[in-house]
Structure 1
Amino acid sequence: MYDPSMRVLTVLEVLQSRESVTGAELAALLEVSPRTVQRYVARLQDLGIPVEGRRGVGGAYHLRPGFRLPPLMFTDEEALSLALGLLSLRHLGLGALVPAAHAAGAKLARTLPQALRETVQALSAAVQLDSSPWVVQADAALLAEVLAAVRAARTVEFGYTDLHGRPTRRQMDVYRALHLDGRWYVVGRCHLRQALRSFRLDRMDDLHVLSSGFEAPPDFDALAFLQASLPDPPRTHHISVWLAAPPGELRGRLSVWFTDLVAEAGGTRVRCQRERLEDFAALLLGLDCGVRVDEPPELRRVFAAFSARCAALAAPTLNHDPPPHP
């Protein structure tokens, strides 16, 4: 049913919820022998929990009157931040942790006072978050292994598939793991290249933590290194548009990579550089907000072409027969 530690905690929970409980009742609940129940009670007493009562056949246990474990105390802002953090795991590409987040949220709710519990439950029911199309799902178990290696300062070995689909085998001293623009990265010293390198977590597999250790450089800024080392995307057109929506509504719907979002005149000024204006224009149309194009003029011509195509598709036609097959 549970591991021993969970059974001990279950005994404590039952004792807090009842005035008294017999050893036979606890044994049946935990699916163990009465002698094992006695060991669990003794363990609680060793931890300073005042469990009293008679042992043996017919014996009953109870907590000393007036004893109660203090509840976890959170301010409204702390509880709100915890609940929102659990809800936002998908935005970090960690969808596999969502069931665990639900369980953690339920445990959190049980520890809160009634008024605060209702606030957190209302938040879960009222807030709906949608994953950004730019987020790449990451292997939560792999991330946990990487973080354990970082904490222990141990070298890792893993398989890696590069942008062109070429597999390699790497050893690395991982200094940091970080999330940037919808992707998880690890940054550290690559043994193959004998230099600092970054690797995308979603392209890593078959990771092993080695026995050899390392010492990370103090005050290493992994974010600055990663931003400076990633290649610039192809940039042809300098774009400046104004959108009739505040920046907060656009984050997660527009890529922030090489894109500036600045509040302006009740909306947002978007400045970026893109190779294909057609793709960017289609993205803007899908935002369902007002758009004013300031530059380049070619972007307005793309919208004009879209408008002509939409008008042609919306116009009635005399011939409703489907087009012949080629």
Structure 2
Amino acid sequence: MSELVRLYRYKELLGGRRAVPAGELQSALEISRATFKRDIAKLRDQLKMPIRFDKERGGYVMDIAHADSSELPGLWFSPQEILALVTIQQLLAQLEPGILGPKLRPLQERLSDLMSRHGLTAGDVARRIRLVHAGKRQLHPAHFESVAAGTLGRKRLRVRHFNRQTGETLDRVISPQRLVHYRDNWYVDAWCHLREGLRSFSVDALTQVDVMEEGALEIEPGRLDEHLGGGYGIFGGAATAVARLRFTPERARWVRREQWHPNQQAWDEADGSYVLEVPYADDREILGDILRFGDDVEVVEPQGLRVKVRQALVEAAGRYV
């Protein structure tokens, strides 16, 4: 049994309410008395585990009141928690000093302290975990700060928005509802007073942002989720169609473990291919995701999406004649 696994076992053995005698611990872990003493010293002094010997009960116990905040280095972090810590670190590093500067330093210090108490340092994590950003667009720090201030402060925003689809720039007043971090970019879900409807705006597409004194129009969370969460990807709107995609057996090995939409349906076919059904409202993003798989995927239905994919592939092939 490795030392790491053995140290992990101590918390399991001492996780109950009864006191565990030293002999019982040594037997369960198959270690000598000398190794047991070294383990206890390391758990207490280096890893700050709240283990103590209870004379009255004749065994070792763990102080339950402090056990949840004392963990072994890295071992007690789930993959999601590790990713969250590293992501927060990177976000803070990217936002400071351009955004919120001094206000973020105490948070960075508290995060570093939390990680150090778990036997991790920012430098160690940075060396051992690498986050790869793909398609990340640069945003103006001051604009992000204003959008965040309006969203959290419940104030309307006067913005100048560049629509990449049409090439137009329009002045709008929006009531921000929430910030969204999606595929390495920031968006703000908001009520657009110009269009009188819910929209999702890419923060990097805002060329001017001013926080207004007027309070933001509040949208009921259920309505917000129904409108902006029912579509595919960042595009809002209640789903109006379902794309049925068939992936080749080779590509299925990857796609089978992916979630494209919370309400997707999927199954394997006899030949090893994988069929995925995904609801969508706006086909722009799902069209791009389909095209990146090339000939490893076929749009079975709807016919309109199938035609669009075919046209895009024909036009792409025409560029290489």
**TM-score class, shorter:** 0.3 to 0.5
TM-score of the pair, normalised by structure 2: 0.46
Q: Which has the larger radius of gyration?
A: 1
TM-score of the pair, normalised by structure 1: 0.46
